[in-house]
Amino acid sequence: MHWAQNRKSLPESMTDKRGVLCVFTKAPVVGQVKTRLFPVLGPEKATDLYRTLLAKTLATACSSNISRVQLYCSPDTSHIELQNYSKTYELQLKTQTGKSLGEKMNHALEQGLCEFDYALVLGCDCPWLSIDDLNTAYRGLEQGSDAVLGPAKDGGYYLLGLTSPQPDLFNSMQWETSLVLKETRLRMRKARLDWFELNEYQDVDVPEDLAAYVQLMKDRFSAKR
């Protein structure tokens, strides 16, 4: 296993043609996204924040060296805003398939690996994610690692990439708990996968995450001045 903290940024190359990045999202329906932020923001502002996070994620994904980006949608691809994202970023819309989050991610990865040498799944809740992070992820897989993992501070992960199907990483997992990351690492070791990890970042999911997000926006605004 290799740790991103000990790795220098990998060199840039021509746009990769052999991988696919599957971004997971929900239709931005008021009252149905970022529900844990309702006590602080209310449904309307929580949905606006979700739109902002999704747009940032797609802009980052489509600016990376991974040439194929697909948007995996829930409950389906019919929402007008998702259709607009497809046109704006020139990406393919797909419907998430499966009952649990694990089934949905496993399905997306297996579908991607039918056509590409590697596939990655990415959430849309991590505004700290950079283009360099995604380029590091794909270059590591291209250079022979079996997997890449983007650890989240809440004990989950914001990104997972594979070069071969690994359904055991998803079966009977306690999703949306602080145990996901630890259990995923244990299962990777059991499968004898050679993996590396990106920087640990914070998702924006609960009210306690908002202060860090506001500071991030302030820092970026100051940097542009």
Give whole-number Cα distances, 98 to 25, 89, 184, in Å.
14, 26, 19
The residues that bridge with 24 in the sheet, in sequence order, are 72
Going residue by residue through the chain, which has 225 residues, state the pLDDT in tens, using 9 for 90 and above. 433 333 333 344 444 458 999 999 999 999 999 999 999 999 999 999 999 999 999 999 999 999 799 999 999 999 999 999 999 999 999 999 999 999 999 999 999 999 999 999 999 999 999 999 999 999 999 999 999 999 999 999 999 999 999 999 999 999 989 999 999 999 999 999 999 999 999 999 999 999 999 999 988 877 876
pLDDT at 17: 55
pLDDT at 167: 97
Stated length of the chain: 225
CB atoms within 10 A of CB 165: 14
Q: CA-to-CA distance for 123 and 128, rounded, in angstroms?
A: 12
108: nearest Cα among 99, 123, 97: 97
Note whether 70 and 92 are within 8 A (CB): yes
Could you tell me the domains of the chain? 16-224 (3.90.550.10)
Q: Is the dihedral of CA 195, 111, 101, 217 positive or negative?
A: positive
Q: Is the dihedral of CA 130, 50, 104, 21 positive or negative?
A: negative
Q: Give the whole-number percent of the chain exceeding pLDDT 70.
A: 92
pLDDT at 210: 96
pLDDT at 85: 96
pLDDT at 176: 87
Q: What is the pTM of this model?
A: 0.90
Tokens of 98: 């499966």
What does DSSP say about strands 157-162 and 118-122: parallel, antiparallel, or unpaired?
A: antiparallel
How confident is the model over 88-142, as pLDDT tens digits?
999 999 999 999 999 999 999 999 999 999 999 999 999 999 999 999 999 999 9
Q: Sheet of 92-95: strands edge to edge? A: 2-3, 195-197, 147-151, 157-162, 118-122, 16-26, 66-74, 92-95
